[in-house]
Structure 1
Amino acid sequence: MMNVVEAFLAKIKDQGHVLPLFLHADLQINLRCVGQTIQLIIKNGSIMILQNSEAQQSKYEISGSQNAMNQLLKGTQRLRVLEQQGQLKVSAPLRTTLLLESIFFLTKAKDPVNLQKII
């Protein structure tokens, strides 16, 4: 899961259109999957990770299967859809969930074939 999270972070830094979403956000969210916990810290317009941060308490958490977490982090499926399907469990207020859904979904990888058609 760490590779997918690192790829997500690399994509988010390349896509400036997503940065205003969390410019003033101050969130700590745990991603739990297959006994592994990765904490995302969103603060002052930046995002970073802490791996196996059990000592760090977080108010918010997303947990579920490896497949569902991959879909979320790659932006191929929306957070709330995965939650409604029972593939992910989200413990966060609706407003926070919508913010996270926007960040994950808008950071998805661009299809280079479609971009070439536009250019």
Structure 2
Amino acid sequence: MIEALKTFQLAIKQQGHLLPLLGHIDLRVNLVCDQQDIQIIIKDGEIFSLHDSDETQTIFEIRGDLIAMKQLLEGKERLRVLERNGQLSISAPIRTTLLLESIFYLTKAEENFAKII
């Protein structure tokens, strides 16, 4: 999952059309997958991650298996579809869920990162 997250972060930084979407966001989300807990922080147009953080400020969480998490991070499947199929569970309000779905899906990290290289 860490490799998929790194690819996602590199891809999102290369895509200018997503910057307005990230511009004024202050959001922390825990991604929980197979004993791994990674926190994604989106703040003022920047996105970064913390591994094994003890930070307790996060209130939103996406939990699921490795395959579903990679599909999400690579933009291969939408967040709410993965939730509906029972592959991921989300603890966030619908507005936050839709924002996260837009960010993950519009980035299409695998596809766009391949174009960059």
* Number of residue-to-residue matches in the alignment: 112
**What TM-score, normalized by structure 1, do the two folds share?**
0.90
Partner of 2:16, secondary structure, is coil
Q: How does 1:1-119 map to 2 (within 5 A)?
A: 1-53=1-53, 55-57=54-56, 58-108=58-108, 109-110=111-112
CA root-mean-square deviation = 1.5
* Identity across the alignment (%): 54
Structure 1 residue ranges (4+ consecutive) displaced by more than 4 angstroms after TM superposition = none
C-alpha distance in 2 between matches for 1:42 and 1:18: 12
Q: Which ranges of structure 1 fall in alignment gaps of 5 or more residues?
A: 114-119
Higher radius of gyration, 1 or 2: 1
Deviation per CA, 1:15-60: give whole Å up to 9, x if none: 111111121110000000000011000111111100111x112110
Q: Which ranges of structure 2 fall in alignment gaps of 5 or more residues?
A: none
**What TM-score, normalized by structure 2, do the two folds share?**
0.91
C-alpha distance in 1 between matches for 2:24 and 2:7: 23
Which structure has more relative contact order (CA 8 Å, sep 6+)? It is 2
